[in-house]
Amino acid sequence: MRKIISVLFLIVIPIFAYSQNTAETGQFIPVNQQIFSMIEHFSNSDNTDYIGLIGRIRFALSDSFSVAISNNNQQNIIITTDGGIRLSEQQILRFTKEQEGELRTFRPEFPEPFVILFAHENEKIPLIFRKNPRLDSYELFAIEYGHRMYMIQSGERPQLLVFSTLGNENLLRAILASAPRAVTSVGSHHPSSPSRINTSVVSTGGTISTGVTSGSPRPAVIGNNNIIGSGTTTEASVIAYIMSRPNRPVVSNGIVMARPQPPVIARSEIERIVRVYFREAAIEGVNPDIAIAQMLYATDFFTNNTVIQSRNYAGLSPVANFNGTFPGDRGITSHIQHLWGYANPASSSLRGQLINPRMRVLNDLGYRGRATTFDQLYQYWTLNSYDYGNAINRIITDMRRF
């Protein structure tokens, strides 16, 4: 049986500040939602040139850090700026912002989509990055070592960077143009299924497994998460997405780990609700992708009968003269108006009649006009819940595949 090295603690010590330039025309920039969406789109492309280049995108870290490993069973990583911590008699892994990493795994269906290999001496260590919706960046979430995954507990986390020869104009093409043309080994990349580039993930129990959602119909359409603006989904594509979920179980090592439940209401009622969402969103100019993703999260894809019966699809908290339930379709209208309120200053006026019972609360808290994108919005909506922000982003990404 293979011996597994366990950890007493991992201490990550930042050394330098942010931003990295090279002698080439270009610079390393933070990976954000836009770059993630473009990489996902092109990784599913039929263009084999793009597929090959994605495996050779140049990655780096925003900060240098060291990791101390000792023999204990604790699996948390503590990031600290305390340079006085004693590191003797422990194995030290060092990563610098000057070195470049290579893609081992890109798994867009996971909360931690990027697994990047960074060298330590003669060994390549997988660093796992998770989205921070508040900053619209991907930061160090865990380190895979000795066939186990060690989670970061606290502290300042280095961000994942990618090299680009340009600014935001034709961004991914600039990133791909920066990739070296010589073929390098990056996991077990397979052109016929590029979104599953070496889809291995190491569990905290020390076993290696895969975790992919089977049956994704097509690459996600590149869109934006602006609150005000048109979305990229349609009524038909949203319905197709909802109704397909029970047929797309989460599979690990060929074993079905989870099978989504079918909706508890009729398809005709789901179609009617989705149709009203698109109608109300069009009236106020709100992106329906965001509103519908929030509604699907709140209703657990129409399996939570309590939320469905309350018609409070946005999960708005009760206030005076509002007990948390809505008659008819007023819950949909209130949801759209609530999103609109976050994106527009108090001086702006709705096109339709004010229905939202909490608009005054947004005014009193000074939240009007404070969020123009979902990644700005979620920190007010759910008090900085990363899980909520990442869950909504995953739903939006999945919907855009249909």
The count of other CB atoms within 10 Å of the CB of residue 214 is 10
Do the beta carbons of residue 340 and residue 282 sit within 8 Å?
no
- Sign of the Cα pseudo-torsion (319, 325, 326, 329, in order): positive
| Nearest one of 131, 379, 169, 400 to 287, comparing CA atoms | 400
| Angle between helix 288-298 and 386-399 (nearest 10) | 120
Distance CA 392, CA 394 (A): 5
Output the pLDDT for position 253: 44
**What is the residue-level pLDDT of the chain in tens, covering all 402 positions?**
333 323 333 433 333 222 344 445 778 889 988 888 878 777 766 666 666 677 778 899 998 887 765 555 555 444 443 333 333 445 677 888 899 998 888 877 777 889 899 988 888 888 989 888 777 889 988 888 776 767 766 567 899 999 887 654 456 566 665 555 443 333 222 223 333 333 232 222 222 222 233 344 555 555 678 999 989 999 999 999 999 988 766 554 455 556 788 899 999 999 999 999 999 999 999 999 999 999 999 999 999 999 999 999 998 999 988 999 999 999 999 999 999 999 999 999 999 999 999 999 999 989 999 999 887 887 777 755 667 877 888 898 889 888
Burial profile 293-311: b = 16 or more Cβ within 10 angstroms, e = fewer? bbbbbbbebbbeeebbebb
Task: Write out the two tokens for 296.
Answer: 């699907």
**Could you tell me whether strands 137-145 and 123-132 are parallel, antiparallel, or unpaired per DSSP bridges?**
antiparallel
Q: Which region holds residue 43: left if phi is over 0, alpha if psi is between -120 and 50, else beta?
A: alpha
**Could you tell me whether strands 65-69 and 91-95 are parallel, antiparallel, or unpaired per DSSP bridges?**
antiparallel
Distance CA 402, CA 238 (A): 7
**Which residues, 6+ apart, have CB-to-CB distance to 323 below 8 Å?**
none
Q: What domains are defined for the chain?
A: 10-185+198-210 (no CATH), 235-399 (1.10.530.10)
- Sign of the Cα pseudo-torsion (312, 316, 319, 320, in order): negative
Output the pLDDT for position 183: 33
Whole-number Cα distances in Å, 10 to 93, 134, 151, 195, 327: 9, 25, 9, 31, 53
| Nearest one of 156, 118, 147, 126 to 7, comparing CA atoms | 147
Cα 153 to chain centroid distance, Å, stands at 19
Output the pLDDT for position 299: 94
- Cα distance between the two ends of the chain: 45
Output the pLDDT for position 70: 53
